[in-house]
Amino acid sequence: MAILEAKNVSMHFGELAALQNINLSVEKGEILGLIGPNGAGKTTFFNCVTGFLNATRGAIFFNGHDITRLGPHRICRLGICRTFQIVQSFSEMTVLENIMMGAFCRHAAPRKSSAQAEEVLEITGLKDKRNQIAGSLTLADQKRIELARTIATQPTVMLLDEVMAGLNPTETDEAVELIRKIHAMGLTLIVVEHVMEVIMGISQRIAVFDSGELIVEGPPEKVVRDERVIKAYLGEDYHA
Amino acid sequence: MQTTKRFIITLACILLVFAVAPLVISSVHFQHLLIMLLLYTTLSQAWNLIGGYAGQVSFGHAVFFGIGAYAAMAPLNQWGLTPWIGMAIGAVVSVMVALVIGVPVFRLKGHYFAISTFAVAEVVKELFSSWKWVDGPIGLDAPILEPGFYTLMFYKTKLPYLYLTLAFFLVVMVLTFRMERSRMGYYFRAIKQRPDAAQAMGVNISLYKQYALVISALFTAICGSFYAMYVLHIEPATVLSLDISMKIVLVTALGGAGSLWGPLLGAMVLIPLQEYSRVWLGGTGMGIDLIVLGLLIMLICIFEPKGIVGILHRLTRQKG
């Protein structure tokens, strides 16, 4: 059974349809890549899944339970956690405290939460920066903090929204390595990314969005050769 | 944040100073200054929970203060009921008002909370001004009763008031310190900094804002009850005024919003300024304290938004 399933999900903002009849299911343990031009609806889809937006039509199921109308905090507690496209670290807190914010989701006592945060610091390689103020770090480190505190909520599904945008090649390699590590921990990942060689490399399956619709879905090697995908990215003129 | 040990030592020193100073300097005016200082520190600390830590600015805390004041004074005046029970009634009513404001407003993003607190405070002020049972705009005077802890009235000395306020100050400081280091403290700061990210981390932000407001309202109401029993005359124009609401905000902002010692530091600057400018300048001094305060706030906003606490941090860092 699919761990996460979107059935006929539509999201309308007044007249504008940001998502139209999306049917997408994610299997437990896979990495699903989500690609598409700007404004295709990838982030809107994330917002619907994580409860930041309520889909205007359709339903979203997590382990068979309808989560369409639940708020973001409820969805996080159920085990779906996300990162943000524009970094949203708690900039006045230390790295450790940022990760504790995630760990508090499972442990109310600060001592337990900080113990778990220490483990996550180890996994994510942030240990030597644990006492630095998050706002003073580089973009790459702040994105890493977002990943780390997301892991600390102990999710079963993680939604990563462009965690590599704006990183240099070395930083990107490190991020890819971390994502593989998280996947190896048994998590299911949905990854939105614009860096093609990265997304093709890590995803087992790719879903392509264009103008709010899911146009193609399949293994990476098949998706890149699909005419509709080439058209969506390059436009009608270049379509041979 | 600081260690428990440092907190206990600092707090113990402050308690000692406030407990011994009035015995050494027996001037009534000095004792009055200490009482006002403690009262405003506690009030501002109460405001600090919602406005400083959780970042939801309220411009209407006079409503909780006024409810506390009237709840202590009106039943005493009408039925001779002990202000202790009145204080409890005030606390309950304030919490209910906090829920009435918070439940709808905390679902919204933006400045609606600040606007609605302001509006509710003005509405409540008008209600009390036209309520006959509490003598409308004239206000209430405490009846002359046997002094003592049961009636919370002391005619010959201010010391009992001072020690009661000191005790409540202690309670609020310790609770704030504990809150700061608990999950709730982290959640409040997260809501202030990044509400969306806090939600993504599993924080029910409207619930936690509500917690902050309810606790804040409760403490503020108790301060209001103490104040009423101290001055023995209350009226809507004083205990429910915008003046009180603003002073609470300004003391906290001046000292450092969202920090444990901010309210005390802010009150230590503002309250003496307020009390002494009145004494020195008499009637013409009215408002001078607010002019100076306005100037201080402008300077703080420009040079150190974290208030006096921020300045102290900077100084200690330079030394180290």
Residues of B in contact with A89 (CB under 8 A): 194, 197
Give the C-alpha separation, A146 to A102, whole Å. Answer: 9
Give the C-alpha separation, A99 to A89, whole Å. Answer: 10
Higher pLDDT, B274 or B172: B172
Task: Check if the beta carbon of residue B166 is closer than 8 Å to that of residue B38.
Answer: yes
What residue ranges do the domains of chain A occupy? Answer: 1-79+157-167+187-240
Cα-trace Rg, chain A: 18
Give the C-alpha separation, B154 to B169, whole Å. Answer: 20
What is the interface pTM, i.e. ipTM, of the complex? 0.93
| Cα nearest neighbour of B198 on chain A | A101
Lowest mean pLDDT among A210-224, B93-107, B182-196, B294-308: B294-308
Classified as helix, coil or strand, A232 is helix
- Cβ contact B193–A92 (<8 Å): yes
- Cβ contact B194–A110 (<8 Å): no
Mean pLDDT of the residues in chain B: 91
Residue B260 CA, chain-centre distance (Å), reads: 14
Looking at residue B107, what is its pLDDT?
Answer: 84
Residues of B in contact with A48 (CB under 8 A): none
Q: How crowded is residue A125: how many other Cβ atoms within 10 Å of its Cβ?
A: 15
In this complex, which of B194, B199, B202 lies closest to A90 when CB atoms are compared? B194
Structure tokens at A179: 């994502």
Query: What is the nearest CA distance from A153 to chain B, expressed in angstroms?
Result: 7
Number of Cβ pairs closer than 8 Å across A and B? 72
B193 conformational bin, left if phi > 0, alpha if psi -120 to 50, beta if neither = alpha
Query: What is the nearest CA distance from B204 to chain A, expressed in angstroms?
Result: 6
The residues, ordered by sequence, that sit 6+ positions from A63 with a Cβ below 8 Å of its Cβ are A1, A3
Structure tokens at A239: 């379509």
The model's pTM is 0.93
Looking at residue B320, what is its pLDDT?
Answer: 47
Residue type present at position B163: Y
The residues, ordered by sequence, that sit 6+ positions from A37 with a Cβ below 8 Å of its Cβ are A210, A232, A233
User: Between 3.90.1150.220, 3.40.50.300, 3.20.20.140, 3.40.50.720, what CATH number should domain A1-79+157-167+187-240 receive?
Assistant: 3.40.50.300
The residue among B179, B201, B206, B209 with the most chain A CBs within 10 A of its CB, best to mutate, is B201
Residue B286, classified by CB atoms within 10 Å of its CB into exposed (0-12), middle (13-18) or buried (19+), is exposed
Give the C-alpha separation, B182 to B212, whole Å. Answer: 13
Classified as helix, coil or strand, A190 is strand
Give the C-alpha separation, A142 to B126, whole Å. Answer: 50
Structure tokens at B295: 């100037």
Residues of A in contact with B202 (CB under 8 A): 73, 76-77, 81, 104-105, 153
B151 pLDDT tier (thresholds 50, 70, 90):
confident
Q: How crowded is residue B213: how many other Cβ atoms within 10 Å of its Cβ?
A: 28
Structure tokens at B141: 């005077």
Q: Where are the alpha helices (DSSP H) in chain B?
A: 4-24, 28-47, 62-79, 83-105, 112-129, 159-181, 183-193, 195-200, 205-231, 236-239, 242-255, 262-281, 288-303, 307-319
Residue B162 pLDDT greater than 60, yes or no:
yes
Task: Check if the beta carbon of residue A235 is closer than 8 Å to that of residue A63.
Answer: no
Lowest mean pLDDT among A108-122, B142-156, B172-186, B194-208: B142-156
Residue B215 pLDDT greater than 80, yes or no:
yes
Give the C-alpha separation, B18 to B163, whole Å. Answer: 9
Higher pLDDT, B274 or B82: B82
Within a 13 Å sphere around the CA of B149, how many CA atoms are in the beta-carbon half? Answer: 3
In this complex, which of A91, A101, A150 lies closest to B186 when CB atoms are compared? A101
In this complex, which of B182, B189, B200 lies closest to A93 when CB atoms are compared? B189
Task: Check if the beta carbon of residue A204 is closer than 8 Å to that of residue A219.
Answer: yes
- Cβ contact B200–A91 (<8 Å): no
Q: What are the tens digits of pLDDT across the range A174-218? A: 999 999 999 999 999 999 998 888 898 899 999 999 999 999 999
Residues 151-210 of B with CB under 8 A from A: 181-183, 186-187, 189-190, 193-194, 196-205
B1 pLDDT tier (thresholds 50, 70, 90):
low
- Low-confidence stretches of chain A (pLDDT < 50) are none
In this complex, which of A109, A110, A149 lies closest to B201 when CB atoms are compared? A149
Q: What are the tens digits of pLDDT across the range B277-297? A: 777 766 655 667 677 777 887
Task: Check if the beta carbon of residue A62 is closer than 8 Å to that of residue A3.
Answer: yes
